[in-house]
Amino acid sequence: MIKVDDIAFVRFSAPDLDKMEMFLKDFGLVRAHRDDKTLYMRGLDPDPYFHVTHLGEPGFIGLAFEAKSDGDLAQIAKSEDAKVETLDGPGGGKVVRLTDPNGFKVEVVAARSPLEKLDVPATDLTNDARAQPRRNHLKRLQLKTAHVKRLGHCVINVKDFRASEAWYKSRFGLITSDEIFIGSEDQALGAFMRCDRGDLPADHHTMFMVGTGTPKFNHAAFEVVDYDDLMAGHHLLKSKGYVHEWGVGRHILGSQVFDYWRDPWGHAVEHWTDGDLLTASWGSRKAPIDDLVGVQWGMPAPPTMA
Ligand SMILES: [Fe+2]
């Protein structure tokens, strides 16, 4: 077993790359590379890309994890009897290609060359009830779209939760942060899982899998700069007539402030900020489904999020 470091990218296919690129730019991503058949989009962080669209029938293809080293990539290739191949796209790199029990393509990548980091929009000091450090300085944000920093997590609906959980954990070393149950604690529906980064913090979840019985893409989630950035993005997307799904609110599990939208082919994509970070020693918990669909503030999940 290796321990992956993070999620690397999500892959989709869509029949119109112009339309996808326009939506993703409005959503706060930046073009990394595009050719006749493939669109690669990035964010503020130096990752060469984290959203890929191939020209074709609309759909979700799969997700990729970042291995901690070339050695880990070689190890997983050996244990899976798979090849280490060259990864297409900006930044190059190497890849091992697998298929999960639901038919989703799962790639493990390493040795991608980073791009130049993009500037995070400047922010002013914030005055609140606790402290008022901003004096003789007017707050003028000048935000248009949100600014996506990175891909944070991917959520999939799976055929059999325990089978998928075992498949992902035994290969990639994922740790359960919160296992979701319905009724009694032994009736598991799914789990939020994080990467094992030892003493380094990891997002509360890099993956969430829900045992609905039918494999389906649920959503991919992208970290934005801060709350103002998320709200600026919300109003920009609203003004352009995109389909809003859920939010703005604050999740219970993971604690993020969230806002969900649909891409032009109906794939749910989330903006989030201010999520929980956990080290490996934090351990695992169980939580009722009410904590999954409920919120700390905002509206609870609509049925269309299932
Ligand atoms: Fe999410």
Token code pair at residue 121: 């929009």
- The predicted-structure confidence for 37-55, as pLDDT tens digits, reads as follows 999 999 999 999 999 999 9
Residue 62 lies in a domain: yes
Q: Which domain holds residue 64?
A: 6-115+148-305
- 221 C-alpha to ligand 1 centroid (Å): 5
The pLDDT tens digits for 257-292 are 999 999 999 999 999 999 999 999 999 999 999 999
Does a structural domain hold residue 130?
Answer: no
Domain tally, the chain:
1
Residue 121 in domain: no
Residue 272 placed within a domain: yes
**Counting Cβ atoms within 10 Å, is residue 238 exposed (0-12), middle (13-18) or buried (19+)?**
exposed
Q: What is the pLDDT of residues 151-195, one digit of tens each?
A: 999 999 999 999 999 999 999 999 999 999 999 999 999 999 999
CA of 231 to the centre of ligand 1 (A): 17
| Ligand 1 center from residue 132 Cα (angstroms) | 33
Q: Is residue 250 part of a domain?
A: yes
Question: Ligand 1 centre and the CA of 222: distance in Å?
Answer: 9
Q: Is residue 223 domain-resident? A: yes
65: CA distance to ligand 1 center in Å? Answer: 17
Q: Is residue 9's pLDDT more than 90? A: yes
Give the whole-angstrom CA distance, residue 26 versus residue 245. 16
Q: What is the DSSP code string of 5-16?
A: -EEEEEEEEES-
CATH assignment at residue 293: 3.10.180.10
104 contacts 196 by C-beta, under 8 angstroms: no
- Residue 36 CA to ligand 1 center (angstroms) comes to 31
Residue 128 included in any domain? no
Q: Is 177 part of a structural domain of the chain? A: yes
